[in-house]
Amino acid sequence: MLLGAPGSGKGTQGERLARRLDVPHISSGDLLRAEVRDGTALGTTARGYLDSGRLVPDDLVFDLVLPAVLAAAEAGGYLLDGFPRSVAQAVRADQLLTRSGAELQRVVFLSADDDLLAGRLLERAAAAGRSDDTAEVIADRLRVFERETRPLVEHYRARGMLREVAADQPVEEVTEAVLRAL
Ligand code: ADP
């Protein structure tokens, strides 16, 4: 599982690593944005949370992400990005995944300081225009990360599952560092 603040490079590294490891890249953010794009009931509910940078309610995220994880685990493995995103999600995911023999093996924390993160997100906003990439929402997403997601670093460290990789290196070097850390 890749753990990191918005802008830390989870999406970019997730795709590269999944290719190298030959497993599916399962991104909760991508799955949620696809639901919004397709106009499903789940997407309609999720949209307001995505656009404001808040976490989507756990039940919705589990309904969407868990089946994908279980199917991938059965087929040989998975690379998770963006999920779990809080200690509550981690505890619940751990119970459900362990029951199916699909539990997380390693967590890689892509560490970066706030200035780098905010800079990258604003650049992406200018280039691509994701609906949650405005300055105000970016600040909120960074706050949500600190409050909800950062505690997972200690959670997984205490379980001996955490590896840390500096995210402020060129893309290729981050990928190699993650593969070494795994
Ligand atoms: P980033 O890595 O830039 O934060 P993501 O694509 O991972 O982008 O997430 C975008 C948004 O999707 C989040 O701000 C949140 O609203 C929602 N989201 C993604 N994963 C989860 C999750 N596990 N639980 C709740 N909300 C989530």
Strands 79-81 and 25-27, by their bridges, are: parallel
27, 66, 85, 110: which to mutate for ligand 1, most atoms within 8 A of CB? 85
Give dist(CA 14, CA 42) in Å, integer: 24
Q: What are the pLDDT digits (tens) for 7-34?
A: 999 999 999 999 999 999 999 999 999 9
Over the stretch 62-72, which tens digit does the pLDDT of each residue have?
999 999 999 99
Quick check: 60 pLDDT over 90?
A: yes
- Nearest CA among 161, 164, 132 for reference residue 55: 132
Report the C-alpha gap between 139 and 118 in whole angstroms. Answer: 8
Confidence of residue 128 (pLDDT cuts 50, 70, 90): confident
The residue whose CA has the least distance to atom 12 of ligand 1 is 29
65 within 8 A of 34, measured Cβ to Cβ: no
| Probe residue for ligand 1, chosen from 49, 56, 107, 145 as the CB with the greatest number of ligand atoms within 8 Å | 56
In 3D space, the residue among 90, 43, 38 whose CA is nearest the CA of residue 64 turns out to be 43
> Can you tell me the distance from the alpha carbon of 123 to that of 117, in angstroms, rounded to the nearest whole number?
10
What is the pLDDT confidence band of residue 114, given thresholds at 50, 70 and 90?
A: confident
pLDDT at 123: 86
* DSSP code at position 57: P
Q: Using pLDDT thresholds of 50, 70 and 90, give the confidence band for residue 146.
A: very high
Residue identifier of the C-alpha nearest atom 9 of ligand 1: 29
Compute the mean pLDDT over every residue in the chain, rounded to the nearest whole number. Answer: 94
Residue 122 pLDDT greater than 90, yes or no? no
Ligand 1 pocket: which of 32, 35, 144 to mutate (most atoms <8 Å of CB)? 32
The stretch 42-68 carries a mean pLDDT of: 96
**Is the Cβ atom of 85 under 6 angstroms away from ligand 1?**
yes
What is the pLDDT at residue 100?
A: 92
In CATH terms, the superfamily for domain 2-181 is: P-loop containing nucleotide triphosphate hydrolases (3.40.50.300)
Whether the predicted pLDDT of 87 surpasses 80: yes
Phi and psi at residue 164, to the nearest 5°: -120, 135
